Amino acid sequence: MNRRNFLRTGGALSLPLFAHNPLSAHLARSLSSLVNPDLDRVLVLVQLNGGNDGLNTIIPLDQYANLMAVRENLMIPENQLLAIDHDLAFHPSATGMHQLYQDGKMATVQGVAYPDQNRSHFRSTDIWTSASSATEVINTGWLGRFYQADHPDFPQDYPNEDCPHPFAIAVGNQVSQTCQGVGTNFSMAVSNPFNLLALAGGDDTPLPEDPYGEELGFLRTSIAQANAYGELVQSFAEQGSSLVEYPDNRFASQLQNVAYMISGGLRTNVYVVSLGGFDTHANQVVPGTPTTGAHAELMTELGDALAAFQEDLTQQGLEEKVLTMTFSEFGRRIRSNESFGSDHGTAAPLFLLGSCVQAGVLGENAEISPDAEVNEGVALQYDFRDIYGTVFEDWFNLEPATVNDLLGHEYVHLPIIAGCDSPNSTNDGPIRDLEVQLWPNPTSDLAQIRFVIDGGLTNLSIIDVLGRQLQTVFSRNLPAGEHQFELNLSNYSKGTYFVRLQAGASVASRRLIKR
Amino acid sequence: MGQTAFSATLTDLAPYQGEWTAAQLTHLLRRTGYGTLKSEVDQLLDMGMDAAVDALLADQQLPSPPINYEFANDPNVPIGETWINQPLVDGVNVNNYRRASLRAWMIDVIRKERLSIRETMVLFWTNHFGIANVNQPQVRYDYHSLLQAYALGNFRDLIKEITINPAMLSFLNGNQNNVNSPNENYSRELLELFTIGKGPQIGEGDYTNYTEDDVRALARALTGWRTRYFGSTDPNNMPESFFDANRHDTTDKQLSYHFNDDIISDGGELEYQQVIDRIFEEDEVARFICRKLYRHFVYYKISDAEETEIIEAMAQIMIANDYELRPVMAALLKSEHFYDFDNRGPMIKNPMQFTMGLLRTFGYDHLEADLRQDRRILQAYFSRSAGMDMDYFNPPSVAGWEAYYQAPGFYRIWINSSTLQERSRLTNQLTANGFNLGGLRFNFDWLGWIQGIPNSTDPNDLIQGITSILLPRDLTEGQLANLKEALIPGLPDFEWTVEYGMYLESPDDEDLRAAVLTKLLDLFRAVFNLAEFQLV
């Protein structure tokens, strides 16, 4: 191997090497090909930057009175909400989302977050994009590791005969952290697929063995790749079509461009689009007219564009190829603030869209107390890594063991994808009511919990209002039937806690007050 | 990112003793300013390093304020006058022209800056505080001119000013922080991003340098500050911050063991100064800001050895000088480490370095554009930088641009297939027809510019001269040969000498001029397209 090639692969573009990566041992074992090359499924990720206020996106009507007690200045009159089943209703501006739900093209997962919630935008975004736990720092993205395992030498010698198309496309000027590999990012940033320019790269001279050589190597490879993929992306976009009218805004045009690229035949598996502005600390609603304001505009922009995109896919016969999924770094607090806004919180709903989703609502409506604490967030029900894991398994057909390796987490398969020849979507047991009873509540030190399960791995934990996991009471296999356990809060100060019970895909979260 | 441990010279910031040639000087100029002007090189080369660095760090007169250059409907501001102290107008949107004026002015200040690090420091601070989406241009102007005034001043004093600056109070909700409903947004970023930095989490709510309780305590200490007169149309009531004692928390604020369990007692209107003074008693503040300075001026990777030898030395200088910036920057820019060959060239240009480097290096001084045309061209540069993902007045987050903090990519984050194309679009346009504004064509005086290069009638000397100004390191013989192929494809050297010589003899001959210019633009385009051109 000559010096130049060595630097290209070993120096310029790599890498916090495997040895430094907590997930490396798993990856090293799973270097055989993960993905069936003929798989033509597409995942469209919709990143909602800033932390979406789930409680004002899809409102639990059974909690409406209590919500009025704690966030009255944000609340929309009940008769203007767009009701669905499960005692839930969409924001009146989210007509697009409401329509998708009514058409059976939306799966809503309630209370999605992770244990030990971090309320920093940057850190929590890193957690969501890397699929790390809250207590470890991982510099690779959850999708980046997926590609890395099959393509350890990327970008050296890519594109090639076997992989002629970009793996992932981030629509905009920035690559997506979800696609960060150990050394390079697997996504190509495309702000406009119809206007891609061929770049000259300069010469291919030997690279000096120093930082300058490293950066120069990175630049040359970036230029070469931009050219190789650019020509291709544009030609496929030009062959594509879009059959419906989209709203006239940046977010919608991102999705429309994705529709062009997919329908044109580009074999890219992942597209990432984004919509910002969800960090609504102030003026989330216009004082006095809560149906208007920043969040209402976002709901319109998000819902209308997603509805147009789905309709476009349907009309072009592509809907069974494409799964769309939203994510946001956190939800917002239950109590609103005095600035007609809401502050960084914990869990929020996550939406999966398309004709291959298990339409409906997974999870319970959040329990809102009129005494909610100032810092209290919506309680965690589902770990986002369980959703990622299910997408890997059901949508990209990965083996469960491989998925655990990629995520560095034993995920629980969730019933969110159905039909469209998803092999695993029928394996789930039913979601059941765990019939949780919790008493005395309030309590001084001890409380009893009783519940009913179908049997299997069961977790019980105590979480505080900030989302910190204080105690794992147990995590083990339990037989089917009724169980009772004692909870000990004697080490905790007075206040509000959440007791979270997970048995397979069934979850319950209950407020427990210590006084 | 790379695991290779390159070892730049580590000498505890020992002064640079080596030769002082154009190579070292242009490195200094590229890192402290935008591009390289021949006039600056000529001026500083004979001075020697010490005097050159001192010159760049010297106090400069602050620029005169932005003016209305085209909007005829602002009753308070005639064309040619400044708007910074004039109110908004009922029924007339004056913010749009002012915003455009502010952008063009900011670019103009950089364009006209000579022999100074100041505007690069202003960018450093703009990135450091990450304030975005300030809707009223005069509020943004006030904030921007604060950064200019303190660019090389006292870090502690700057933080004090920032803490009660209307733009910041509004941006991080400090103006809503009150005794009944403390808002932690500012106090959190004050600790996490602006002063001491967030270390590894070592306990529940404990980030090595401070705790969640400290965030809450400082938020309470900073209660009471508000803003008013945003959007005012009354000349006597212009946007400002003020202290409202009724909203201030007068109780004691208990700090954690990281701050020696100190208590901040009620200080009323001046309590914010107690807060800043207390934070700055921690030496970690110096280390934190020095790391950021290093990343901005030297390189993004900081090895363990660099941390202990360079960053620590910088921090100690800063502490010894009561948080004055100038002594630290002087020591860094005069150090052996700064001029180490390993540190020459591995910085990927940020979009401002890319666009302003071109603008300052080549300029439009030869054009007789009127004010309005001139400002439009400057606005175009502003927009091009924004298109490359650096909207100067709108950093993507309070943490600034990812390229300065996001591991593992850092500077590389500027580069992707989309931004590379934006960069090429600009250089391709400049080496074709330039900007066309209302029928008037704006382009650099390429032919005039190369007359500053010694012996430019010899194609080898011409290429050598151009590349040594525009690129951080020497090219290989093969690359130089390829560039010559762009200039005089398949022709012997003397053909350039002859054709260019004929043009010099008859500069008014349009045919000669066009023929030579076409070839010269081919050369410049080839230089700009080199991957090396992305580096400083």
* Chain A residues in contact with B428 (beta carbon < 8 A): 197
Environment class of residue B248 by beta-carbon count within 10 Å: exposed (0-12), middle (13-18) or buried (19+)?
Answer: buried
- What lies within 8 Å, CB to CB, of A53 at 6+ separation is A74, A278, A280, A284, A295, A331, A332, A342, A348
In angstroms, what is the C-alpha Rg of chain A? 24
Paired sense of beta strands A382-383 and B435-437, if any: unpaired
Chain B residues inside the 8 Å CB shell of A121: 397
As given in the structure block, the two tokens for residue A417 are: 């994808």
Could you say which DSSP state residue A364 is in?
P
Beta-carbon contacts of B412 under 8 Å, excluding residues fewer than 6 positions away, are A215, A218, B1, B348, B403
DSSP 3-state assignment of A281?
Answer: coil
CA A225, CA A168: separation in Å to the nearest integer? 13
pLDDT by residue for chain A (515 residues), tens digit each?
232 322 222 223 333 323 333 344 344 334 345 656 567 899 999 999 989 999 999 999 999 999 999 999 999 999 999 999 999 999 999 999 999 999 999 999 999 999 999 988 778 988 999 999 998 888 889 999 999 988 988 877 888 888 899 999 999 877 788 998 876 789 988 888 998 877 766 667 889 999 999 999 999 888 888 888 888 999 999 999 999 999 999 999 999 999 999 999 999 999 999 998 898 988 999 999 999 999 999 999 999 999 999 999 999 999 999 999 999 999 999 999 988 999 999 999 999 999 999 999 999 999 999 999 999 999 999 999 999 999 999 999 999 999 999 999 999 999 999 988 776 545 566 788 999 999 999 999 999 999 999 999 999 999 999 999 999 999 999 999 999 999 999 999 999 999 999 999 999 999 999 99
Q: Give the separation between CA A370 and CA A448, rounded to whole angstroms.
A: 23
DSSP conformation class of A430? P
Answer whether B421 sits within 8 Å of A199, measured CB to CB. yes
Record: contact A222-B416, CB cut-off 8 A: yes
In chain A, the residue whose alpha carbon lies closest to the alpha carbon of B202 is A135
> Is-contact A92 A81, C-beta < 8 A?
yes
B465 with B456: CB under 8 angstroms?
yes
Q: How many pairs of residues across A and B have Cβ atoms under 8 Å apart?
A: 147
Closest CA to B351 of B315, B298, B404: B404
Question: B465 to each of B59, B454, B470, B521, how far by Cα in Å?
Answer: 32, 7, 9, 15
Query: Which of A188, A209, A215 lies nearest to residue B346, judging by beta carbons?
Result: A215
| DSSP string computed for A49-102 | TT---GGGTEEEGGGHHHHHHH-GGGPPPGGGSEE-STTEEE-TT-HHHHHHHH
Contact A203 B476 (CB under 8 A): yes
* Amino acid sitting at position A344: H
B284 closest CA partner among B398, B208, B397 = B208
Report strand pairing: A469-478 vs A481-488.
unpaired
**Taking CB atoms and an 8 Å cutoff, what residues of chain B touch A220?**
531
Instruction: Tell me how far apart the alpha carbons of residues A295 and A302 are, in angstroms, rounded to a whole number.
Output: 10
Interface test with A, best of B421, B427, B477, B524 (most A CBs within 10 A): B421
> Hey, what are B109's tokens?
């200040």
Q: What DSSP string runs through B75-86? A: TT--TTSB-TT-
Give the one of A15, A122, A223 whose C-beta lies nearest to B399's C-beta: A122
Other CB atoms within 10 A of residue B447 CB? 17
Q: Report the residue of chain A nearest B178, measured CA to CA.
A: A338
ipTM of the assembly? 0.94
Do A377 and A117 contact (CB within 8 A), yes or no?
yes
Residue A51 token pair: 């932390």
Angle at A34 between CA A29 and CA A35, to 5 degrees: 175
Question: At a CB cut-off of 8 Å and minimum separation 6, what does A387 contact?
Answer: A109, A112, A325, A350, A352, A414, A416
Query: Would you call B421 and A12 a contact, using CB atoms and an 8 Å cutoff?
Result: no
Rounded to two decimals, the pTM is: 0.75
Torsion angle of alpha carbons B293, B299, B300, B303, nearest 10°? -100
Best probe of the B interface among A4, A210, A283, by most B CBs < 10 A, is: A210
Tell me the C-alpha distance between B315 and B320, whole Å. 9
Q: Measured between alpha carbons, how far is A419 from A357 in angstroms, rounded to an integer?
A: 8
Residue A132's closest CA among A351, A144, A470?
A144
Q: Could you report how far apart the first and last alpha carbons of chain B are, in Å? A: 19
Interface contact flag, B472 A212, Cβ < 8 Å = yes
Which residues are CB-contacts of B86 (< 8 A; sequence separation ≥ 6)? Answer: B74, B76, B77, B138, B235
Task: Write out the H or E segment, with its range, that includes residue B189.
Answer: helix B185-189
What does the alpha-carbon distance between residue B377 and residue B372 come to, in Å, rounded to a whole number? 9
* pLDDT single digits (tens) B485-506: 889 887 889 889 998 999 999 9
Is cis: bond before A479, omega within 30 of 0? no
Query: In this structure, what are the phi and psi dihedrals at residue A64, rounded to the nearest 5 degrees?
Result: -60, -45
Nearest CA in chain B to A211: B346
Alpha-carbon span A500 to A474, nearest angstrom: 11
